Amino acid sequence: MLKRVFGLPLQLTSKRTLSTVFYQRMSEQTATTPATPVADVPPQQKQKSGKGKKSKLQVSLKTPKGTKDWSDIDMVIREAIFTTLSNLFKKHGGQTIDTPVFELREILAGKYGEDSKLIYNLEDQGGELTSLRYDLTVPFARFVAMNNIQNIKRYHIAKVYRRDQPAMTKGRMREFYQCDFDVAGAYESMVPDAEILDIIVEGLTSLGINDFKIKLNHRKILDGIFQVSGVSDEDVRKISSAVDKLDKSPWEAVKKEMVVDKGQTEETADKIGEYVKLNGSLREVYDALSQDPIICANEKASEGLNEMENLMKYTEAFGIDKFISFDLSLARGLDYYTGLIYEAVTAASAAPENAAELKKKSKSSEDASEYVGVGSIAAGGRYDNLVNMFAQASGKKSGSQIPCVGISFGVERIFSLIKQRMTAADIKPIYTQVYVMAFGGGKDWTGYLPERMKVAKQLWDAGIETEYVYKSKANPRKQFEAAEKSGAPLAVILGKEEYAEGKLRIKRLGPEFADDDGELVDASEFVAVVQDKLSQVHEDGVNEVSRLIRGL
């Protein structure tokens, strides 16, 4: 009986936790251990320079601008994001690779348009000029060309680096993770592209993000619009980067950049404006463009429209049309995109309406969180020439034309959205499911430390996260406090007399179970009983982290 094992009454009041009652009763039987005084810390020895002056090492205890340390609770959420996305990528046939965190500078040069200024260049090391990777796409294309790969579905989860203005609370950082999935190889038009769009929808909804839109455009259509508007071929990428700012700036500001900064005529800018302000469903925008004789007469735009016609059949088959907006203002400034381009946005993506005013009032030059939005939470597109560019530049035979399309999820930005759902009590920083305890008394009481270790080992071997106090004669209150801190929902208790009879007590933990004596089971069967009880702990079998991640 519980009373015989612990010396406690069977009925416990609901307002008193089990650990409090254990401590009060056990303290009457067991002498408390006196606190060990903290030893005086001897003064540091004075280090003197040759001139007899003190030498002090002074450092700033901070992380570099645009970076941060991640706490234990943060990492629980982040690991769940990584696991969710990597499982999704595997489900779609992905295989993972890894590439160096820095590349030869010439590999990255000329791939990112105006954003090339954000690349972190490293010092000359033995004659090699290198830079930290800006994304995972260019290293992947280099990998495909270097290894003469004809087709691959690859995913890669790793850090990238950009010397951008940080907005830390919005997940816009200088060091951040990307989760990429790409399909390389020659396939029928828009088939891989449609699956990538489905992966975006699956990925975000599985992370509990449902209020998003995939803004989508086609570079061939956009380039055709520029051509019929009077933009020369050499100016197309410059104008693309201007148009890409329409999600952050009004049309008047973008038009001014085109005319004043990038040398286009007023007529050209106005013509571009007629098209890039157009957005709506895939069908609506496609119909509007396909009925425009000027657009249809342009070779590039017409080719893009034909591909969009195929895409609509596939997105309908996947049932994802409702998540997609055909938005002609989307340009994606990176130079390597050649076809479909897209980015996923939420209500939090946009900057505040009074962003300019907030920027003027901001007192921080280190962080732009006050006046910027989260931005896109996933983005990507088709890049058919990048692998061939590397193959030709390395002297390989031409013809290594490996078309590619992919998506990159921004972990930090997604994390910032998920963390808004949680309160401090939602998540525990450790995964402990069972706490092994032992209670007894008398002169011959050893504390059952080896026995606790044996029980813990059996639970570990069964794949169950388990802990116990690292002390021979552990105070009952300390054991319950440790169990509470771990967040373990279940305890396996070794009572002095019960364990000697081959019995273990399995008990739910928490104030609401203070009156529950637990279940006495045979030691030979306790693992199966623990597994069964753990399956009943979480609502619908889903733990707190999974519920938070899925937005349940």
Given a cut of 50, whether residue 257 has pLDDT beyond it is yes
Task: Give the pLDDT band of residue 347 (cuts 50, 70, 90).
Answer: confident
Homologous superfamily of 434-542? Anticodon-binding domain (3.40.50.800)
Task: Give the pLDDT band of residue 369 (cuts 50, 70, 90).
Answer: confident
Q: Which fold has domain 72-421?
A: BirA Bifunctional Protein; domain 2 (3.30.930)
Q: How far is residue 494's CA from residue 447's CA, in Å, rounded to a whole number?
A: 9
Positive/negative CA dihedral, 260, 263, 269, 275:
negative
Position with higher pLDDT, 360 vs 270: 270
Map tokens 């056990």 to a residue.
Answer: 26
At residue 2, the pLDDT reads 41
pLDDT digits (tens, 9 = 90+) for 3-55: 444 433 333 333 344 444 444 444 444 444 444 444 444 444 444 444 555 66
Q: How far is residue 373's CA from residue 349's CA, in Å, rounded to a whole number?
A: 5
Report the DSSP pairing between strands 212-218 and 324-327. parallel
Given a cut of 50, whether residue 125 has pLDDT beyond it is yes
List the binding residues for L-histidine: 135-137, 162, 178, 182, 332, 336-337
Lowest mean pLDDT among 225-229, 364-368, 403-407, 464-468: 364-368
Task: Give the pLDDT band of residue 398 (cuts 50, 70, 90).
Answer: low
Given a cut of 50, whether residue 478 has pLDDT beyond it is yes
**How long a stretch of residues is the chain?**
552
Task: Give the pLDDT band of residue 331 (cuts 50, 70, 90).
Answer: confident
Residue 274's identity, in one-letter code, is E
Q: How far is residue 431's CA from residue 464's CA, in Å, rounded to a whole number?
A: 10
Task: Give the pLDDT band of residue 238 (cuts 50, 70, 90).
Answer: confident
At residue 113, the pLDDT reads 77
pLDDT digits (tens, 9 = 90+) for 370-397: 777 788 999 999 999 999 988 887 776 6
H runs (alpha helix) in 321-410: 355-361, 386-393
Given a cut of 60, whether residue 399 has pLDDT beyond it is no
Residue pair 196/380 in contact (Cβ under 8 Å)? The answer is yes
For residue 23, the tally of other CB atoms under 10 A from its CB is 18
Q: How far is residue 504's CA from residue 498's CA, in Å, rounded to a whole number?
A: 7
Given a cut of 70, whether residue 427 has pLDDT beyond it is no
Map tokens 């007899």 to a residue.
Answer: 52
List the binding residues: 135-137, 162, 178, 182, 332, 336-337
At residue 527, the pLDDT reads 95
Positive/negative CA dihedral, 93, 99, 103, 107:
negative
User: Average pLDDT, stretch 79-88?
Assistant: 94
At residue 421, the pLDDT reads 78
In this prediction the pTM is 0.80
At residue 244, the pLDDT reads 81
| Sequence ranges of the domains in the chain | 72-421, 434-542
At residue 333, the pLDDT reads 65
pLDDT digits (tens, 9 = 90+) for 135-179: 999 999 999 999 999 999 999 999 999 998 888 888 888 999 999
- Judge if 72-421 and 434-542 fold alike in CATH terms: no
Task: Give the pLDDT band of residue 486 (cuts 50, 70, 90).
Answer: confident
Highest mean pLDDT among 22-26, 367-371, 515-519: 515-519
Name 506's bridge partners.
Answer: 492, 519
User: Average pLDDT, stretch 74-103?
Assistant: 94
Map tokens 């972990």 to a residue.
Answer: 411
At residue 51, the pLDDT reads 53
User: Average pLDDT, stretch 461-486?
Assistant: 92
At residue 19, the pLDDT reads 46
Lowest mean pLDDT among 183-192, 310-319, 465-474, 511-520: 511-520
Task: Give the pLDDT band of residue 539 (cuts 50, 70, 90).
Answer: low
Task: Give the pLDDT band of residue 429 (cuts 50, 70, 90).
Answer: low
pLDDT over 70 percentage in the chain: 84
Question: DSSP 3-state assignment of 91?
Answer: helix
Report the DSSP pairing between strands 466-468 and 434-439. parallel
